[in-house]
Amino acid sequence: MNKKYSCVLLIPLILVLFLSLSFSGEAAKGKTSRDGRYVDNGDGTVTDHRTELMWTQKDSYADLGECRNWYKSKNYVSELKTGGYSDWRMPTIEELKTIFERSKSNSNYRGAPSRLDPIFASFGAWWYWTSRTVGPCCARGIIFDNGKVGMGIRHTCGNSGVRAVRLGD
């Protein structure tokens, strides 16, 4: 085959490849959960249309591959720039309870069920810290395989992490 014809065939192939990559990125943006409640914004964030809160798609454990105590979780959230936003914060107990859904299943870092919509990243923390502190030692958190609110010592790590939240746009 001569060079003239091989260039003619190569250019459309490159164009098709470029367009398919462009559209695959767009397909991820706007993906909704099965029940239509959550939207994957395609930038590492998920919007909950029931509460109008925006969550990070990955929690700190899924993002960093390690647990975080309450202090490190607070610092992690304060430095986040996910989705181009810098106003991330630790959730309240009430906010975090809204994304716990007993009927849904995702996998936490151990592969055990986490009662979280699959639109969120898998292999995250087992326990999520909240902004609620208790006395000089402790803070509240939620176990995401059973939804129980508990209290943990802020300096301990265990299997904990944080899922950052902000008010949606």
Strand partners, 160: 127
Structurally, how many domains does the chain consist of?
2
CA–CA gap between residue 12 and residue 21 (Å, rounded): 14
pLDDT digits (tens, 9 = 90+) for 18-29: 333 333 333 356
39 and 104 both lie in a single domain: yes
Nearest residue to 38 via CA among 104, 124, 135, 110: 104
* CA–CA distance, 151 with 5 (Å, rounded to integer): 70
Q: What's the pLDDT score for residue 1? A: 53
At 53, which CATH number?
Answer: 3.10.100
Question: So what's the pLDDT on residue 105?
Answer: 84
Assess whether 61 and 7 both reside in one domain.
no
Tell me, yes or no, whether 15 and 89 share the same domain: no
30-55 residue pLDDT tens: 799 999 999 999 999 999 999 999 99
What residue numbers bound the domain in which 72 lies?
33-167
**15, 83: one domain:** no
Same domain, yes or no: 16 and 37? no
Could you give the CA distance from residue 52 to residue 57 in angstroms, rounded to a whole number? Answer: 15
Q: How far is CA 130 from CA 8, 30, 104, in A?
A: 59, 28, 21
d(CA 125, CA 140): 15
Residues 71 and 128 in one domain: yes
b/e code 129-151 from CB counts within 10 Å (16+ = b): bbbbeeeeebbbbbbbbeeeeee
Helix (H) or strand (E) holding 167: strand 165-167
Low-confidence ranges of the chain (pLDDT < 50): 5-27
pLDDT at 147 (0 to 100): 93
